[in-house]
A and B are shown apart, each in its own frame.
Chain A
Amino acid sequence: MSLTRRDVLVAGCAGGTALASTFFWPGSVRAQDEAVQLVERLTGQAPTVSDRLHLVMPAVFPTGYTVPMDLDIESPMTEDDHVRRIRVFAPQNPLLQVASFNFVPQRSVARVSTRIRLAEPQYVVAVAEMSDGTLLMTKTWVDVATNGCI
């Protein structure tokens, strides 16, 4: 099957945008929307996708039992502007909550590393609750070769 850019644009105009975008790029608008909706359903509040959150995980990892995860949020951690907590979700795991990290302004830094279990290749989602009540989120695609949740 050969698809030209023109074909894609035509398909997009015909209403096939969602299909075309998932087909060409996994980091598509649709996947982003799904993650946003998931967070909204879990927290009851709409998150803002932010590049202040850095969720660093290997793109491909041989085992789902111990996947390294580094989280770093750009924040001055003052009384007025800090990260209260970060929640991490693995939406395709049998139990989707991974962890919740709680920080204290002036005392801890919004940066943490751990190792997590993933059942299948998926987007891992991190949500930061800021001191002003807003939710910031980001997500990272991780491809695991074996199920780590059995």
Chain B
Amino acid sequence: MTPSTPRVLVPSAAAKGEVIKVKTIISHQMETGLRHNSQGQVIPRKIINRFVCRYGGEVVFSVDLHEAISANPFIEFYLRATDSGRLEFIWEEDGGGVYRLEHELAVA
């Protein structure tokens, strides 16, 4: 399986109070645990089960994902730009794998 690569599209600067759009995607199979291989054995579930966005260290948005989220989960959401700070994006996978990205946001 190819390693998962997360990507984020978010502005680097915003006006105070402005609502910014954040687009995130991670390449991932999102194996549901409902499929069988050619020997009739269940292919174990392996999905991204949680996504968290921190802004200045504080959780500002999160998602609990289930099997019905498509492969290569895409999540688009909106944040209010309050202060300059670091945005952290964290994807947690079944089995404990974690993928991260960071982004600096300047608020004027």
Contact = CB atoms under 8 A, between A and B. Distances in A.
Interface of A: 65-67, 90, 93-104, 106-109, 111-118, 148-150
A108 B78 contact: yes
A62 to B, nearest CB: 14
B78 to A, nearest CB: 4
Interface in B31-79: 32, 34-35, 55, 58-71, 73-79
Nearest to A118: B68
Nearest to B59: A104
Given A109-B80, A111-B77, 15 more contacts: A90-B68, A97-B67, A97-B68, A99-B63, A99-B66, A101-B77, A104-B58, A104-B61, A108-B78, A108-B80, A109-B78, A113-B77, A114-B73, A115-B74, A148-B70
Interface residues of B, number: 28
Given A108-B77, A108-B80, A109-B79, A115 B60 contact: no
B13 interface: no
A84 to B, nearest CB: 12
A112 B12 CA distance: 20
A107 B69 contact: no
A107 B55 contact: yes
A150 B35 CA distance: 6
B9 interface: no
A115 B69 CA distance: 6
B75 A114 contact: yes
Contacts of B29: none
A90 B63 CA distance: 17
B68 A93 contact: yes
Contacts of B15: none
Given A107-B82, A149-B34, A100 B63 contact: yes
A106 B82 contact: yes
Contacts of A109: 19, 77-80
B66 A113 contact: no
